[in-house]
Amino acid sequence: MSLSDYHYEVSHCHRCSYCKFVPFQVMKSRRFFQGCPSIAFRNFHSYAAGGRVILALSIIEGRLKEYTETLAKIVFECTMCGACQVQCRTYNYNLNPIEVMQELRTHLIENGQLIPEHLMVIDGLKREDNVFGEPKADRNRWLEGLEIKDINTEKADVLFHPGCRTCYDEEFWDNARAAVTILQNAGVDVGTAGKEDSCCGGRAYEMGYKGELVNYAEALAGRIKASGATKLVTPCADCYGTFKAYFPIVGQELDVEILHTSEMYDRLIKEGRIKLKKEIPMKITYHDPCKLGRRGEPGIPWEGEYKRVEPHIFAPVPEKPVKLGLGGCYEPPRDVLKAIPGVELVEMERNRIHSWCCGAGGGAMEAFEDLSTWTALERIEEAKSTGAEVMVTACPWCERNFRDAIKEAGGGFEVFDVTEFVREAMGG
């Protein structure tokens, strides 16, 4: 679909501003009632999903012809967290603001309105197959010394996909190695794509570069087919959401079960193949990564058009799937943490489909650092308000952004990955 295909949807925005806040029905306090980081940070309507939807309408109807840097800033200064999509559902089933904003991004890129920081990422990606522009040859340094199959030479049931952040941020190597070891000790047959491993293409897509996503989706589908793997497992929520939600939208279904490591742990714990014996007496809270939660909901491609089906009714034909965010992964990481003896899990006010973003997504971390850091610190305040000693999450991008923001703010709080808790509870 292209931007103009959304004309009916964008012309039916109610201007209700529900996309800015946690729905009243679940709102718990004035302190944490905001839902959209972008409008909460800028406090100017254009920076809300509703504002961008109006921009899209103006472009489609030919009233907005001049694409300026300010327009690009408004469109891209957003974490693509999808909270607006869930909130818009409160009263409006005919509008998908997250899809509109995605098409708006692609439209601006196709019309030469580029974000310089994003362009650097894309150049690096084209050169080295990773979003940091680091040498491709360094991609597998995280697994040096680890006994693991290479699916290019041996069959494995599970293809482990680490993701660019894990491969190039040394702070997460230990986590990825622990994840592989935990799975192997539970009897899981794991392999990696070795020298063929590459980016998932999801961040490029969110920056408006759809072609990159298509290329990486096709390459991964080919590798999976050749490998005979039945499962694709990743510790990265960003990659998980890309495989589950974005690949189908660009026409690439993967012929495997897609699982986050926390889903694998949950399954293996319930089967008795992972035993969590060591007590961790700690009060913790869990942060839902957007692309594991509401944006990890399986994507259902839709090709159709809005037609007059009754004299008074215009409707999508065939019927368009409604995205509520409910199909994301919310309980498995929580169940894993709750299975650890001594752990007390407390919820933040905004959780599951209403979770506040970490600030790292949608190219914000790369181009709009102030929004990204502010968003992370808001979440840390919310985590602290629960009385939790630490926050646990399930994505290296969230962890990176939280840890950097905490450091910048002078420390005082810690963020961990689910894998670190599982390893510790297994006895190190």
95/422 with CB nearer ligand SF4:
95
36/337 with CB nearer ligand SF4:
36
CB 47 within 8 A of CB 76: no
Q: At its nearest, how many Å lie between ligand SF4 and the CB of residue 70?
A: 17
Q: What would the two tokens of residue 426 be?
A: 């297994």
Q: At its nearest, how many Å lie between ligand SF4 and the CB of residue 156?
A: 36
In Å, what is the CA distance from 230 to each residue of 188, 224, 241, 251, 295? 12, 8, 18, 20, 23
Gap between the Cα atoms of 292 and 355, Å rounded = 11
CB 87 within 8 A of CB 25: no
19/365 with CB nearer ligand SF4:
19
Gap between the Cα atoms of 60 and 268, Å rounded = 50
In Å, what is the CA distance from 396 to each residue of 48, 166, 402? 27, 7, 10
Q: At its nearest, how many Å lie between ligand SF4 and the CB of residue 44?
A: 12
Q: At its nearest, how many Å lie between ligand SF4 and the CB of residue 368?
A: 10
55/83 with CB nearer ligand SF4:
83
Interacting residues with ligand SF4 (CB under 6 A):
13-19, 36-38, 48-50, 53, 78-84, 87-88, 92, 95, 97-98
Q: At its nearest, how many Å lie between ligand SF4 and the CB of residue 407?
A: 23
80/292 with CB nearer ligand SF4:
80
Q: At its nearest, how many Å lie between ligand SF4 and the CB of residue 95?
A: 5
Q: Tell how strand 190-192 and strand 158-160 pair up.
A: parallel
Q: At its nearest, how many Å lie between ligand SF4 and the CB of residue 83?
A: 4
Q: At its nearest, how many Å lie between ligand SF4 and the CB of residue 43?
A: 12
Q: At its nearest, how many Å lie between ligand SF4 and the CB of residue 371?
A: 8
79/373 with CB nearer ligand SF4:
79
14/225 with CB nearer ligand SF4:
14
87/373 with CB nearer ligand SF4:
87
55/183 with CB nearer ligand SF4:
55
CB 116 within 8 A of CB 72: no
